[in-house]
Amino acid sequence: MQTATIHELKKELNQLRPAQLVDICLQMAKFKKDNKELLTYLLFESQNEAAYIESIKHELDTEMAEVKSPSVYLVKKSLRKILRQLDKYIRCSGNKQTEAELRMYFLRQIKAAGLPIHRSQVLSNIYNGQLKKIKSAVSKLHEDLQYDFGRELEEVGAGDWY
């Protein structure tokens, strides 16, 4: 089976009745958990992005509270698990400001937890990778927001980034 293009899919979906669209959406939600999460975001969360961000921050707080471990290996595994979940939330939103804000919050949580990011190359790479992703997202925002996020980046250790 060859996959249709977005244009072809849009054309077909425009010809369907609302009841058929609902059935198709429900079938997609049953097919894969990611589809269900995206549909949940689009239906319930997308109207209030600030509340969505706050709920993710709250979840991130609880996850970061469990990271405290003497083993760098376990810290690395925990951070990667948190990042996988964070990436999923960011992908659902698709908003660069939300991405920058959530990744910045993640870095602030790492600093606040006092994790040994400079003691391990892997942890340092995770931290620096998030800094790069923040810089990339911020570069696509309005100049005023770039300035605000630039100041926050200096606080988390990115130095003069622009």
Domain residue ranges of the chain, discontinuous segments joined by + = 17-47, 49-162
Q: What is the pTM of this model?
A: 0.83
Residues 6+ apart with CB under 8 A from 10: none
Q: Work out whether the CA dihedral 37, 43, 44, 48 comes out positive or negative.
A: positive
Q: Is 151 exposed, middle or buried (0-12, 13-18, 19+ CB in 10 A)?
A: exposed
Q: Quick one: average pLDDT of 36-59?
A: 92
C-alpha 43: how far from chain center: 18
CB 110 within 8 A of CB 103: no
- In Å, the largest CA–CA distance within the chain is 59
Residue 161 scores a pLDDT above 60:
no
Look up tokens 């993640």; give the residue.
Answer: 106
What is the DSSP code (8-state) at residue 88?
A: H
Q: Tell me the per-residue pLDDT of 54-107, one tens digit each, with 9 for 90 and over.
A: 999 999 999 999 987 788 889 999 999 999 999 999 999 999 999 999 999 999
Residue 6 reports pLDDT greater than 80: yes
pLDDT at 144: 86
Average pLDDT of every residue of the chain: 89
